[in-house]
Structure 1
Amino acid sequence: MTGDRSRRSARGNRWGLAVVGVVLLAAGLASLAAGLGLFGRGLADSALLGPPVREVLGQQWVPYVVVAAAVVAAFLALRWLMAQGFNDTVGRLVLERGDEGRVEMSESVARGALEEEVADYPGVRRVHARLTESTDAPHLRLALTLDADADVAGVWRRVRSEALANLRRALDLEQVPTVVRMSMTAPAKNPRRILA
């Protein structure tokens, strides 16, 4: 399910950032402690790349380990970036499921019908809808751009009592959790005057 995937992605982001933060914090505190002489005066007074470190870095296998670590880090970073780009919109909606199969509808059909209906309401300039989370129990995100003089409460009442009711009936669902975001368009700066 897409909602589970996005929640897992968000949880992975939090854990990944927490682990990186803890590692960097530990490295910083260890460096500070070494510089202040908490691990002994000899370590505090020695060069960062002293003879033992230079000897290890001069080994033949070190460049291969560095390249391997860089490839793993690049792979993990690329995977993380790809996970951020996942769209949580469902592709198909399951209307009925039985022993012989299931009946599906394309998300774009349900979304298109809803957008077309709401776009006809007075005062609505633009509509953008997305059905997300799950194919069996979708959630709706509806973004409306209204004219500056639109009746906001009236549009909201019609969306709730007509458009959402029609969507629930079409999908044969008791409820479709919905987030409605409304914004107003700015009035034109230089309205054209119509001369009679």
Structure 2
Amino acid sequence: MARDRYRRSARGNRWGLAVVGAVLLAAGLAALAVGQGLFGADPAGRPLLGGTAQGVLNQQWVPYVAVAVAFVAAFLALRWLMSQGVQDTIRRLSLEGGGEGRVLVDEDVVSDVVENEITDYPGVRRARAHLTESVHHPHLRLALTLDEDADVAQVWQRVRANALVDLRRSLGLEEVPAVVRMSMTAPTRHTRRSLA
């Protein structure tokens, strides 16, 4: 299921970052300890790289290998960063089409209908809806921006009693789990001055 895949990905990211951080921290602490003479004066006075390592680094091919490794590391890091920005929004919904198969509906169409309906509610300035998780069992993520004087409880009641019911009915589903996030717009400067 999509949710499990994203949880595994997030868990893998956390473990990967923790391991890399632990290795770098251990290497840094070890270098600091050696430099401060905690392992004796002899290791602290020795060059960091021995003669063999110095000889290898003086080879002509070393800079090219270093550049290639840097490019590969940069590519992997960029790919990882781009994968973090990928949302779990589904592109199409698969609906029951009776006995003649299934009907595919673009997620954008459904989201636009939900957004347009909720934006017409009193006190709602902006609505953003996304369907996530699964093409057969979608979840709704709804972000609302309300006017500063909006009745939050009334907006929530209308979303629950109207928008969510209409969405379930139109998709032919018994339930559509939803996460609704509401935020208020900042008061205008005039309002701030009058309150001060």
C-alpha displacement of 1:8: 3.7
Change (3 A) 1:97 1:25: farther
Matched, 1:56 2:83: no
Root-mean-square deviation (CA, aligned residues, Å) is: 2.6
C-alpha displacement of 1:138: 1.5
Identity %, equivalent residues? 67
Partner of 2:45: 45
Q: Distance in 2 between matches of 1:35 and 1:190?
A: 61
Contact 1:143-1:180 within 8 A present in 2 as well: yes
Q: Distance in 2 between matches of 1:99 and 1:47?
A: 78
Partner of 1:128: 128
Q: Distance in 2 between matches of 1:7 and 1:117?
A: 32
Deviates more, 1:180-189 or 1:154-163: 180-189
Q: Distance in 2 between matches of 1:126 and 1:43?
A: 65
**Which deviations, in whole Å up to 9, do the C-alpha atoms of 1:120-153 show, x marking residues without a partner?**
2222221111111221221111111222222211
Partner of 1:26: 26
Partner of 1:194: none
Change (3 A) 1:38 1:61: farther
Contact 1:111-1:130 within 8 A present in 2 as well: yes
Deviates more, 1:71-80 or 1:33-42: 33-42
Q: Distance in 2 between matches of 1:100 and 1:25?
A: 61
> Partner of 1:87: helix, strand, or coil?
coil
TM-score scaled by structure 1?
0.83
> Partner of 2:149: helix, strand, or coil?
coil
- Structure 1 unaligned runs (5+)? 192-196
Paired AA for residue 108 in structure 1: D
Q: Could you say which structure has the higher helix fraction? A: 2
Paired AA for residue 22 in structure 2: V
Aligned residues: 191
Change (3 A) 1:62 1:188: closer
